[in-house]
Structure 1
Amino acid sequence: MAALDEIVFHQILHWHHFYDRSTTAAGLVSDGLLHTAELLALVAGFFLFADLRRRRALSPAHAWSGLFLGLGAFQVVDGLVDHKVLRVHQIRYGVDVTPYDWAWNLAGVALLLVGAVLAVRAGRAGAPGERLP
């Protein structure tokens, strides 16, 4: 989700930088640091994913639930903590941000709900190799 946010809202639409409370140059550096962190997280995640596949311990249902829970968690934390509590940036400037805030946070909650439903289903199905009573 960080990659989608950074690519779409920071680079393509130019709506904001990760840190907008300073100069444009500082904002660009903050975007670069966010991009670096997101790429490191993606690479680490792919190595962990590959390790689970190698050990035949991968549960696709659990992986999908984790993906959606992570997407939603990032979006809700970004929307509430970064946008409202820390105020490091807003979704967009020069407009009433209320509809953008609602859309951003509700989309994050929807992703969390999808992840939660998938997690419950995955839990009912059990882990690979696990025998259910």
Structure 2
Amino acid sequence: MGIKTEGKHQNSNVMNRFVYANRNLWSGILFGIGFVAFIDETVFHQLLRWHHFYDKSTTDVGLISDGLFHAFSWFATIGGLFMFADLRRRNAIWLTRWWGGLFLGAGSFQLYDGLIQHKLMRIHQIRYVENVIFYDSIWNILAVLMILIGLSLIYRTRSRQPLRKGNSYEH
């Protein structure tokens, strides 16, 4: 009575992936935003010291803004991981869709940073040099590439049925 057959179990795994498709996407997006923000803050703010999150004031204010930015990146990363753990518990992970969300979130955040924060708001530049356009171009091109990869992966999960296998970790 309470025992599921293998076929029913496989079908429920596939159904879980569709029911939780948006959660897979948002988990990846949050993790991608947090991950790329963490890399930005760690590499460009701390290790290379090219800029602070907010460069229009003193170094102390810049360091405080970096700390707040770092906290934001960890909240997004951990939030995405909590959602991922919940999906795993529910046997509803759809890795291709999750990776699509990760690339979409990472690229969107990087493009937002490059266009809005660097150019429109001018709260900091990627690097304070004469040929900043070189750095801006690479930054924004990489962002667009990540967005395109993410959209491609998301489209693949939208346009085809997932594989009907018992393992819910399939692409």
When normalised by structure 1's length, the TM-score is 0.92
Equivalent residue, structure 2, for 1:43: 78
Which of 122, 125, 130 in structure 1 is aligned with 2:160? 125
Deviations 1:82-103 (A, max 9, x none): 0011100000013321111111
The amino acid that maps onto 2:116 is V
**Is the contact between residue 6 and residue 35 of structure 1 (CA under 8 Å) also seen in structure 2?**
yes
Equivalent residue, structure 1, for 2:60: 25
Q: Secondary structure at the match of 1:37?
A: helix
Note if 1:101 corresponds to 2:136.
yes
Output the CA distance in 1 between the equivalents of 2:68 and 2:163: 37
The amino acid that maps onto 2:47 is I
Q: Closer, same or farther in 2 for the Cα pair 1:83/1:18, shift >3 Å?
A: same
Output the CA distance in 1 between the equivalents of 2:59 and 2:163: 49
Equivalent residue, structure 2, for 1:67: 102
Deviations 1:42-101 (A, max 9, x none): 111110010011111111111010000001001100000000111000000133211111
The amino acid that maps onto 2:96 is A
Greater than 3 Å deviation, 4+ residue runs? 125-129
Asked which structure has the greater CA Rg, the reply is 2
The amino acid that maps onto 2:132 is V
Q: Give the aligned CA root-mean-square deviation in angstroms.
A: 1.3
- What residue ranges of structure 2 are gaps of 5+ in the alignment? 1-35, 165-171
Structure 1 residue 124, shift from structure 2 partner = 2.4
**Is the contact between residue 17 and residue 31 of structure 1 (CA under 8 Å) also seen in structure 2?**
yes
- What residue ranges of structure 1 are gaps of 5+ in the alignment? none
Output the CA distance in 1 between the equivalents of 2:108 and 2:57: 27
Output the CA distance in 2 between the equivalents of 1:41 and 1:71: 11
Equivalent residue, structure 1, for 2:32: none
Output the CA distance in 2 between the equivalents of 1:41 and 1:59: 20
Output the CA distance in 1 between the equivalents of 2:146 and 2:123: 23
Percent of residue pairs identical: 50
Note if 1:12 corresponds to 2:47.
yes
Output the CA distance in 1 between the equivalents of 2:64 and 2:51: 13
Kindly tell me the number of residue pairs found equivalent between the two proteins.
129
When normalised by structure 2's length, the TM-score is 0.72
Equivalent residue, structure 1, for 2:17: none
Deviations 1:85-123 (A, max 9, x none): 110000001332111111100110000011111111121
